[in-house]
């Protein structure tokens, strides 16, 4: 039936989803700066202008955490859909 084909076709979609989620969360920094929205992107910009290296490094680390969370979420979803990936993990 189509359920078996759906499970197999979700594998590449979930692989790309992790990169997309991480990119969207990390890319919000640029949107906040351009649109002048208060947030982590604006905070990082102000830290860079003020040469506050610790705050800028913290904001960059938060962006890296967002990217890692997106990738881990996609990996967990991939393991739930395709049990064959548990053997290679």
Q: What is the DSSP letter of 14?
A: H
Is residue 77 predicted with pLDDT exceeding 80? yes
Is residue 88 predicted with pLDDT exceeding 80? no
Is residue 32 predicted with pLDDT exceeding 80? yes
Task: Domain ranges for the chain, please list them.
Answer: 14-83
3-12, 27-36, 48-57: which has the minimum mean pLDDT? 3-12
pLDDT of 55 reads 94
pLDDT of 1 reads 66
Is residue 73 predicted with pLDDT exceeding 80? yes
Is residue 3 predicted with pLDDT exceeding 80? no
pLDDT of 49 reads 95
Residue 18 burial by Cβ neighbours in a 10 Å radius (0-12, 13-18, 19+): buried
């Amino acid at each position: 039936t189509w359920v078996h084909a759906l499970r197999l076709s979700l594998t590449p979609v979930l692989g790309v989803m992790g990169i997309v989620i991480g990119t969207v969360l990390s890319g919000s920094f640029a949107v906040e700066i351009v649109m002048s929205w208060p947030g982590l992107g604006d905070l990082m910009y102000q830290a860079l202008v003020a040469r506050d290296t610790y705050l800028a490094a913290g904001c960059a680390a938060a962006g890296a955490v967002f990217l890692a969370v997106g990738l881990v979420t996609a990996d967990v979803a991939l393991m739930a859909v395709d049990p064959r990936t548990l053997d290679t993990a």
